[in-house]
Amino acid sequence: LAQGGAGSGPERLGGRFRASVASPRASAGSAGPVCARPIRGMAPQATFDQIPDKPSFPQEEEKVISYWREIDAFKESVKQSKGRPPYNFYDGPPFATGLPHYGHILAGTIKDVVCRHAHQRGWHVERRFGWDCHGVPVEQIIDAKLKITGRADVLSFGIDKYNEECRSIVQMYVKQWREIVERFGRWVDFDDDYKTMDLSFMESIWWVFKELFKKGLVYRAFRVMAYSTALCTPLSNFETAQNYKEVSDPSIIVQFKLKSKDNAYILAWTTTPWTLPSNLALCVHPEMTYLRLKQKFGDNSEWIVGKDRFEWVCSSIKKDPKKDFDLLEEVKGATLKGLAYEPLFPYFRAKVEAEGRLDKVWHVVTDTYVTDKAGTCVVHQAPAFGEDDYRVCCTFGIIDKDGSGMVHPVDESGRFTSDVVDFKGQHVKDADKNIKERLKKEGKLVYNGTEVHNYPHCWRSETPLIYRAIPAWFIKVEEERHKIINNNNQTYWVPSFVKEKRFHNWLVEARDWCVSRSRYWGTPIPLWVSEDFEEVVCIGSVAELEQYAGRKITDIHRHFIDDITIPSKRDPKKVLKRVDEVFDCWFESGSMPYSSKHYPFENKDEFEKGFPAHFIAEGLDQTRGWFYTLMVLSTHVFDKPAFKNLICNGLVLAADGKKMSKRLKNYPDPIDMANKYGADAVRMYMCNSPVVRAEPLKFKESGLEVITKTVFLPWYNAYRFFIQNVTTYEADTGKFAPDAGRIKRSTNITDKWINASLHQLIKFVRDEMDAYRLYTVVGGLTKFLDDLTNGYVRFNRDRMRGLNGADDALTALCTLYELLLNLTVLLAPVTPFLTETIYQNLANALPAGHPMKQKSVHWVMVPDFDPEALDPEIQEAVERMQAVIELGRTLRERQKTNLKMPLKSMTIFNKDEVYIKDLKRLEDYVRSELVVEEVKYSTELSKISLSGVLNFKALGKKLGKDMKAVKEAAESLSQDELLAFESSGSITLCGHEISGEEMSLNRGVKDMDDPNMHPIADPKTMLMMDFTFEEGLYQKYLSNEVANRVQKLRKEALLQFEDPVDVWAAVVPNGKKEPKLAATLAAQAAYIDKRLRRRLFNGDLRQGHELVIKAEDYTIEGEKVQVVITSRSAFFNQAELKKLTSGDPSAAKVIQNYAATFDLPALTAASKTGALQVGYGGKTYKVEYKKHYALGPGEASWLP
């Protein structure tokens, strides 16, 4: 077939790449001598490279990656776009301490699609990758490596050595990140990336913080905050909200002994027994009712408990409220205020007495935050570990706002200190069990149960958080909420509900932001303070710090600057020292727009012209993360949003709806999927799913199979069909040259339709991408692909094969070329690999200097749509045709009639004359697709009858005993009533409203008694098809089946249309009664030849010397036919040969064998020079071309 050897590797052709075509498989057997390949004649150089029948999309993607590297495609595209308007995009920084997962791939794909499209729309799009280098993920790795368990270990090891250990592993997976990101087709700059640990990045963070400091937005406070004992640091409120888990915690009731009366107690409930040693008060609701009760069991002690929770208490301890208790009195909570009680534990009595607080500590206080939804309506107060506890205890003077008077027996690792001697060194959550045992032993534990509830966990370590009072640095948010909300209102989000509901609601309740972390590897907070915190200096640049340090500073991590002091202005003898904390890493990522540009120290004009960014994208979890911090900081610094447009994606889950887990291995590896199906399949699968609308995606491998089978393969096959038919056209007619003007001049309605659809698609893609609606864009593209492959190509196969003449074939091929070329440009952002593969071949036809002729499809601009090409009327006409074809196919399936069996006729009923006119214009396609000989039309609907069919399954429960009456009412409905029901979608029968889902309409034809006539209808149209059997129609069916087998064999032999071969068919007798195949081959020869666009020769005419390329036996309707493909060779006129040899069969055999030694070009050349001279038996035979032999049976004029 192809000149030269076969192989599977790419061949480089002028910077392009070509898939190799394998040689045809040899076939041995009884059909005759076997030839490995036919010898082609001198065909002109084809415009397009031939492509394989069955592509390997992953292998083609690897070739594309190599090609992109070769031409430095991404950086070259950025270089080409310089000078265009900038399109500013911010890429949120991931940690490089782990490998990318589907969430990263999804967000990266969304970013890549938008940025590629922006480039193709004429923007200059800088795409810099970023790395989040600081924070807990890095420290956790080092802690595990060095077996560090707390702050003391770090200080002992040395912060300098600890931080350098962190620095050394920060980019441990960068190489793998680059490989995976490249494999999934994302174009982003890794070489000019930004890192949050770089001096330039950290310096800009300092500048941002000082801007806030100068505006009075920074303060220090003692607050009860969510605290990670695993990380030894507080978390911000939005970090806390990110990771709630359902857990089972202790649920206990404890009795506190009142001092005012012997054997009297007040009951309190808690789920945190570990906080009880720190109890300083009990709180009741001033307006709630409380009961004073006396037990009728045990030691007859008295209890005080909330009235609304008394029954729950009784059910918990298995007591009867009436039988086991006497009610002494009911009182309001306010009357209990001031009651003194004995502390459960003795650990802090001496401290309280020494501080003179005994008159306030261990008393009952009141506050309205107490609820009757759980517990006993009595809440124990441990101000060091509860936000409300802290507030209430401050209000009643139990502690002071600066923390004085507080008891805080838990260290930074969450372990009890020596203050609580009995539980010293135990982690608070582990101590719960021991504390309960102690209380039970002392008779203070009334009830010991469990409570299942949602509880916050550390989003980094997955460990339960505790609430702990600590001093921390805060950014004011609450008093600036209105500004932040106003700036949020200026942004555009997809989907909008995330902005308008989830994010807006979060902003409305936003709290001041704790930005300090008691960690080591991070950007140090640039505050130098006096011991009493009354004098504070904020540093905003390296140069400013160098003035105080008296030395050059090249790194501002803790171990390089913590030794620097600043002289006090209040007391020259004293110095200010830097605070111990570093920044929350969210503050770093929220500063990314400025820090990545080293603003304002560099790139000042460039940044200010491009701020806010045009676009950002991340997952739904970032509404309380990066999206939030970006908005807060940009509002505080510039009073602007940080971005204009945002796409928020949902979460990618495992197929069972659970979170993807490396431990459980409940999801397929991304690289395995790319290597099996291709990265394009993963990209399109995700972009065409609910996940780009902030909804979850249950990732299923079957989804990739569906994309490959229903989108990529039909698309590729349409492209391959185009290449094959252009090659045939060029072999038969001449060079193919694209001519878009032919589409406008065409009178073919499907050319007009698909061109209108293309330009409608171009407009749609431009509009929808401007609105950042990827989910509609991908849907629109795949819909057009379906119209292209299952519509236009299917409708016009014969035209492109030349059955209507070369000129019409060229028009159809030019139309298909424009469709394929423009589609590659439009789909390039979504499927960058397959579009590149197809484009590289299609571009071969474009002349030099053509605006769409580039080295890469990703350098080609998205075309403008042509308003004149838009034609809604033609599009509606084709949609009507498609609906009729679908109806006809459904009816054939119902009648169990082979879709390839020709039918005698079909009648289309529709009262709309424009509808009928549209279908008449497209009648040839209707006949071809439905395989009917004749199409008739009627606007007369009087013979059509309607009947209502009830859905008894849906109506059973609804109608009950009225079912029979409703059925009779439905059967008696008039035609007008049924039409009204069809129009409105509902009707009332016997008092019941019946919907369209509960009753359907059947259409039939009145007085139709022909059993071969069958109707089908939709609400607009009715078809009547004639299924009458006719012998001539059956022969056409058999002829089509034979033609299909021939084409199948040619395809298996990897033949091209112009290959010099001959095809033979012969019926093999198998004893079937009434055989029809032989008669069909004879009677329908001309029809079969037309279908094949070449002669199909009677297999009985083969002369035995032909070289067989491939042969196969097929069974068609119970009869066997052998199809043989031979390499073209000499075909002899047996009558003339007999005369020449005087009837000597041996001489005739020698002559035929001698001719078989020539390949076709040699035999052709020899034929032009004169007769062949063959010597045998002492005689020389002069064998003359066209008298004794021809070049194949097609030239044999002596054949009928």
Sign of CA dihedral 394, 396, 397, 399: negative
Are the C-beta atoms of 271 and 251 separated by less than 8 Å? yes
Candidates 198, 178, 159; CA nearest to 96 is 178
How close are the terminal C-alpha atoms of the chain, in Å?
Answer: 30
Of 120, 622, 882, 1152, the catalytic one is 622
The reply to whether 626 belongs to the active site is: yes
Are the C-beta atoms of 611 and 638 separated by less than 8 Å? yes
C-alpha to C-alpha distance for 508 and 510, rounded to whole angstroms? 6
Of 24, 38, 58, 93, the catalytic one is 93
**Cα angle value 1161/1163/1168 (rounded, 5°):** 95
Give DSSP secondary structure letters for 631-693. HHHHHHHHSS-SEEEEEEE--EE-TTSSPP-TTTT-S--HHHHHHHT-HHHHHHHHHTSGGGG
The length of the chain in residues reads: 1200
C-alpha to C-alpha distance for 535 and 901, rounded to whole angstroms? 95
- 749 torsion bin: left (phi>0), alpha (psi -120 to 50), beta (else): alpha
The reply to whether 93 belongs to the active site is: yes
Of 131, 206, 626, 859, the catalytic one is 626
Are the C-beta atoms of 313 and 305 separated by less than 8 Å? yes
Biggest CA–CA distance in the chain, Å, is: 145
Of 49, 91, 112, 132, the catalytic one is 132
Candidates 839, 841, 833, 838; CA nearest to 857 is 839
Radius of gyration of the chain (CA): 42
Of 662, 735, 964, 1051, the catalytic one is 662
For residue 1157, what are its two tokens? 């030694």
Candidates 532, 514, 655, 689; CA nearest to 587 is 514
Candidates 802, 796, 809, 803; CA nearest to 754 is 796
C-alpha to C-alpha distance for 1156 and 1107, rounded to whole angstroms? 8
Q: Which residue is associated with the tokens 């409380």?
A: 290
Please name the residues in contact with 836: beta carbons below 8 A apart, sequence gap of 6 or more: 64, 67, 68, 828, 856, 857, 858
Of 586, 715, 859, 1064, the catalytic one is 586
Are the C-beta atoms of 1096 and 1089 separated by less than 8 Å? yes
C-alpha to C-alpha distance for 36 and 1, rounded to whole angstroms? 9
The reply to whether 604 belongs to the active site is: no
For residue 708, what are its two tokens? 């490959």
Candidates 403, 468, 454; CA nearest to 228 is 468
C-alpha to C-alpha distance for 1065 and 214, rounded to whole angstroms? 93
Sequence-ordered alpha helix ranges (H) in 985-1110: 1031-1052, 1077-1083, 1085-1092
- 1192 torsion bin: left (phi>0), alpha (psi -120 to 50), beta (else): left
The reply to whether 132 belongs to the active site is: yes
The reply to whether 659 belongs to the active site is: yes
C-alpha to C-alpha distance for 229 and 467, rounded to whole angstroms? 10
Of 245, 501, 659, 709, the catalytic one is 659
Burial class (CB in 10 A: 0-12, 13-18, 19+), 137: middle
The reply to whether 499 belongs to the active site is: no
Cα dihedral 559, 154, 221, 624, rounded to 10, equals 90
The reply to whether 662 belongs to the active site is: yes
Sign of CA dihedral 725, 727, 732, 738: positive
Candidates 829, 687, 690, 815; CA nearest to 755 is 815
Give DSSP secondary structure letters for 1124-1141. EEEE--EEE-HHHHHHHT
Candidates 1150, 1159, 1167, 1098; CA nearest to 1127 is 1159
Catalytic residues: 93, 132, 586, 622, 626, 659, 662
